Structure 1
């Protein structure tokens, strides 16, 4: 794989889970943009939002995107839910949207083994009404920037990664 694969989608849709399964099967490197920002800032995303605000965090996403554009190739990149807004997204690789309804995502998070921690690490999901509003705002934008759309509600994890590999020619 020479070109990067960029996984986007709403928080909690399973980008990290999909990335880990993909690398296990195909042996690619994976990175997570939120993890990169947390490492750089030495703070969890939630704490960055609390202490420095969302605008600061979004600026760090752009810094991360710029670094990826210059330095990263042949990698699957799992992105935070708002990362799709970076101005050079299309230059980073093939953009793959993991698509699902809000209710499916919310149910996935609520019924996970570690549901409390999954919800806690997503500061924008703390208010369900606000999260749904945000989902509705982002849904069309995700589709607009995506090169490939994978409907995760109808596929097993294995089927998802197989479709990503096929559509991205891995």
Structure 2
């Protein structure tokens, strides 16, 4: 089984994912990093030169590919939830956790980098609120959510470990048993 971290940009998916994988003795993979590696270009350049539809097509192909892996912590791009087939593919062999944060926290976390193509607008705070509103129903399709607004990374990881422990305890399957 994989642990899938999804959610809006700036919620901590990559940072939490790396640390969580190490702590659990699992492999780590970031779908955005994989796309950049395969394309030989940064995400914002892909958006700039080829557009969002092209990027979403790449993203869907990567999701389909990584959904067959096992024992990975996989951080996805924030828009991966926009296609139901992405969520379905990831759920087949994964537990999907959405990291959230309030718009003000997201703005503060993302304005430092300047490499967020969807926020390249005169009022990025307004755009964050619009995108969150548009994606809310998609983010609600996950197995569990953690609001990272006022939590440190260790606290987020603790919450994830707790829900995974409860999930495993409620599972009727016992290795070697019937």
Q: TM-score range by the shorter chain?
A: 0.7 to 0.9
Q: How many residues align?
A: 159
* 2:130 equivalent in structure 1: 133
* 1:28 equivalent in structure 2: 26
**1:123 is aligned to 2:117:** yes
Kindly report which structure 2 residues correspond to 1:1-170, keeping only aligned pairs within 5 A, or say none.
3-70=1-68, 72-86=69-83, 87=85, 88-110=89-111, 115=112, 118=113, 120-127=114-121, 128=124, 129-143=126-140, 145-169=141-165
Q: Residues 133-163 of structure 1: CA distance to partner in whole angstroms, max 9, x if unpaired?
A: 11221123202x2101112124321121111
SS of aligned partner of 1:11: coil
* CA–CA distance in structure 2, aligned partners of residues 90 and 27 of structure 1: 21
Give, in angstroms, the shift of residue 4 of structure 1.
0.4
Provide structure 2 residue ranges, at least 5 long, that are not aligned to the other structure.
169-178
* CA–CA distance in structure 2, aligned partners of residues 89 and 7 of structure 1: 10
SS of aligned partner of 2:96: strand
- State which structure, 1 or 2, has the greater radius of gyration over its C-alpha atoms: 2
**How has the CA–CA distance of structure 1 residues 60 and 27 changed in structure 2, closer, same or farther, with 3 Å as cutoff?**
same
Q: Residues 72-123 of structure 1: CA distance to partner in whole angstroms, max 9, x if unpaired?
A: 110000111101134023224111011111112112334xxxx1xx2x2211
Compare the two structures and name the one with the higher helix fraction.
1
**Structure 1 contact 6–94 (Cα < 8 Å) conserved:** yes
* CA–CA distance in structure 2, aligned partners of residues 106 and 92 of structure 1: 32
* CA–CA distance in structure 2, aligned partners of residues 131 and 154 of structure 1: 18
Question: CA-atom RMSD, angstroms?
Answer: 1.7
